[in-house]
Amino acid sequence: MNILFVCHGNICRSPLAEGLFARVAREEGLDIAVDSAGTAGYHQGDLPDQRAIACARRHGLELSHRSRQVADSDFRSFDLLIAMDNENVADLKRRAPSGTAGKIHLLRDWDPAGPGEVPDPYYGDASDFEHVWHLCERSFPRLIDSLRLRMKA
């Protein structure tokens, strides 16, 4: 199973989701490859935003991901492309090769508090990054459950 988390620039939300989900999957004993990418290539090759790095560190996680843009091959290589907001979903669906749009989902579709978007913290402060962390953390148990069902099928 391969999962790609996607946001706009791949320096805030998706690297946090990637890092946290990789840890959760490991703790759950699941063999899942995790990566992240952005729909835009503004920050290609950059480390995550310093505030994302600081947020992850507060939770005992080091982020070393280098930003990259979603590639055409990602639609074939990944079983799920999990976007942070509706704009990301729309961008991915526009680019999706025939037969791959069903792989695209919104992260908070697995949020027990209800579906919605993971807001972009880029123009915010540390509390906005913490909010992203908690939305991911809250959504991942249901995502893990759905992946276990997929892996059994």
1, 147 Cβ separation under 8 angstroms: yes
Residue found by looking up tokens 């835009």 in the block: 40
- In angstroms, rounded to a whole number, what is the distance separating the alpha carbons of residues 28 and 100? 27
Question: Where in the sequence numbering do the catalytic residues fall?
Answer: 7, 13, 120
Which residue in 150, 22, 12 sits closest to 79, CA to CA? 150
